[in-house]
Amino acid sequence: MNSEVENFIREQRELLERIEAFSMSPQFELLASTGREVFQSPSDAQLASWLLQPIFGMGKRPIDLVDEPDGLAQVVNLLQRTLHGGCV
């Protein structure tokens, strides 16, 4: 396997490990209640997937924001704007 593929796989594993750890936190449950409304689904898998997707114009993934000061509030705000028809 070439090094580019190995690096890609390593990065994906790290992201999955971060989302797994975050999914067990109280902060995730806070997001999940809004996420269930946004995605109109009782499943938190869509929220987990959304957390890994770069936000247009921000250059970051929501999972990257949650560890920053006020980052969780920013992510909640993004979800609420989505719920109410705003652009993210």
Dump pLDDT digits (tens) for 12-47.
999 999 999 999 999 999 889 888 888 888 888 888
* 55-82 pLDDT tens trace: 877 778 999 998 889 889 989 888 888 7
Parent domain of 76: 3-83
Question: Residue 37 has what pLDDT?
Answer: 85
Number of structural domains the chain divides into: 1
Task: Report in angstroms the alpha-carbon separations of 37 from 43, 58, 68.
Answer: 10, 23, 24
In a domain, 55, yes or no: yes
Question: Residue 3 has what pLDDT?
Answer: 93
In a domain, 88, yes or no: no
> What φ, ψ does residue 12 adopt, rounded to 5°?
-65, -40
